[in-house]
């Protein structure tokens, strides 16, 4: 893994609260320098978790000073008890630090439908406060994991007018991954100076082609959140998108988000293949995305990917049922990498099963679909569906 650079103005700590897991860290604290700007996007799932409700409310009122993240318990589907527990965790941290309660943003990930105990927070918060360090990103990334097999982190550094700026992020996510915001928990921090409105736009622009263009299993979580922090410690203002600093900053944030999003799909539960699906020549981007997701979510396509079986008929059938009105099948072409498998309404005349299997046996490859209807395009990342995906999710609570 490339070096993960600390971000001036942001300190982290991880501790073992025993909320669900034993003998591992499961609670993370992020301290943000006073004056930090914070932007966030959240799940669109109607059954959003208690921490999503509370974090939205707090963020709308005041600039946050702390992020409090637990794994093992989602605190979702827990009704008023869940909201009360979430507020209590914020109160505990506020009392220990002297900040206002709504300057704490809570986040949770884990099993849905179980009450969140607050005593582990009370017991662990003092140690977290004493352990805050700028270079604790690795420990924090491990502590927020659930079914992830490895921590997911990324950093970019760039220089403007002799000053070095840093963008570093971490995320967790492996299953229940489908975009409708961000589809996981992700935290990206920078030492840049940025006004909140600009920061929110930067985040939304970065999320669209990254976290909102991935899918493992088609399920949108109740707890999804993605946060972008600008501590301002560098003194370099990146609010203006037309400035060199603003341009480089936006590029760095997008690169970090894309690297993290790719890591989520590559670590999909039981995944053995990383597959890019690109739909071109669509009449609109929405149409292109609909086709891409229909292919990506097909259990028949995903199991064929796992088996390295070039069963191109499954891809063809998924395109055909994607709801494209007036689709002229004679104009549709489909490729595995650069190998054309479908043209003129059927198997391409130059296609061979051996060549198709050679592509499918790769750990990473692309499925490209041209609809012959326009100039719009969309790209998403997905993975295969293996025996282990079923096993992991069948045994998740046992």
Q: Three-state SS across 92-129?
A: HHHHHHCCCHHHEEEEEEEECCCCCCCHHHHHHHHHHH
Nearest to 142, CA basis, from 40, 23, 41, 39: 23
According to DSSP, the residues that pair with 380 across neighbouring strands are 277
SS3 label, residue 13 = strand
> Using CA atoms, how far apart are residues 316 and 345, in angstroms rounded to an integer?
9
Q: What are the catalytic residues?
A: 183
Of 150, 175, 147, 145, which is closest to residue 26 (Cα–Cα)? 145
The helix-helix angle for 196-207 and 244-266 (nearest 10°) equals: 40
Q: Angle formed by the axes of helices 119-130 and 79-97, to 10°?
A: 30
Distance, in Å, from the CA atom of 157 to the CA atom of 167, rounded to the nearest integer, reads 6
Angle at 337 between CA 149 and CA 181, to 5 degrees: 50
Residue among 22, 45, 211 nearest 112 (CA): 45
Q: Going by C-beta distance under 8 Å and a sequence separation of 6 or more, which residues neighbour residue 381?
A: 213, 214, 215, 261, 262, 265, 274, 275, 276, 277
Q: How many CB atoms lie within 10 A of CB 327?
A: 18
Listing DSSP states for 338-391 in one string gives TEEEEETTEE-TT--HHHHHHHHTSSEEEEEEE-SS-SEEEEEEEE---HHHHH
The C-alpha angle with vertex 114 and arms to 110 and 120, in degrees rounded to 5, equals: 75
How far is Cα 286 from Cα 372, in angstroms, rounded to an integer?
Answer: 15
């Amino acid at each position: 893994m490339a070096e993960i650079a600390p971000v001036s103005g942001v300190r982290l700590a991880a501790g073992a609260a025993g909320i669900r897991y034993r003998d591992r860290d499961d609670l993370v604290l992020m301290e943000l320098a006073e004056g930090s700007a914070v932007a966030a996007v959240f799940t669109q799932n109607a059954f959003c978790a208690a921490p999503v409700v509370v974090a939205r409310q707090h963020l709308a009122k005041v600039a946050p000073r702390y992020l409090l993240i637990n794994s093992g318990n989602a605190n979702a589907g827990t009704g008023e008890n869940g909201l009360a527990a979430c507020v209590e965790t914020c109160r505990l941290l506020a009392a220990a630090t002297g900040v206002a309660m709504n300057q704490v943003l809570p986040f949770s990930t884990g099993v849905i439908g179980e009450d969140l105990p607050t005593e582990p927070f009370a017991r662990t918060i003092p140690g977290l406060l004493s352990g805050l360090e700028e270079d604790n990103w690795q420990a924090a990334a491990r502590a927020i994991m659930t079914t992830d097999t490895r921590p997911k982190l990324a950093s970019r550094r760039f220089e403007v007018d002799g000053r070095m700026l840093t963008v570093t992020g971490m995320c967790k996510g492996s299953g229940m991954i489908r975009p409708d915001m961000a589809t996981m928990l992700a935290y990206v921090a920078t030492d840049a100076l940025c006004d909140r409105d600009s920061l929110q736009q930067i985040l939304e622009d970065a999320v669209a082609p990254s976290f909102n263009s991935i899918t493992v299993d088609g399920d949108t979580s109740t707890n999804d959140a993605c946060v972008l922090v600008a501590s301002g410690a560098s003194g370099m203002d990146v609010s203006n998108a037309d400035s060199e600093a603003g341009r480089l900053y936006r590029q760095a944030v997008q690169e970090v988000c894309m690297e993290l999003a790719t890591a989520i799909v590559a670590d999909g539960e039981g995944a053995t293949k990383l597959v890019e699906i690109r739909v071109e020549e669509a009449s609109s981007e929405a149409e292109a995305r609909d086709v891409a997701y229909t292919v990506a979510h097909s259990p028949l396509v995903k199991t064929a990917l796992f088996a390295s079986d070039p069963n191109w008929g499954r891809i063809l059938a998924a395109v055909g049922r994607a709801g494209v009105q007036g689709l002229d099948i004679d104009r549709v072409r489909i490729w595995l990498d650069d190998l054309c498998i479908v043209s003129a309404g059927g198997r391409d005349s130059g296609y061979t099963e051996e060549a198709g299997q050679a592509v499918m046996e790769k750990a990473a490859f692309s499925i490209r679909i041209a609809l012959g209807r326009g100039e719009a395009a969309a790209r998403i990342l997905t993975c295969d569906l293996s025996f282990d995906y079923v096993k992991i999710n069948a045994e998740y609570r046992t």
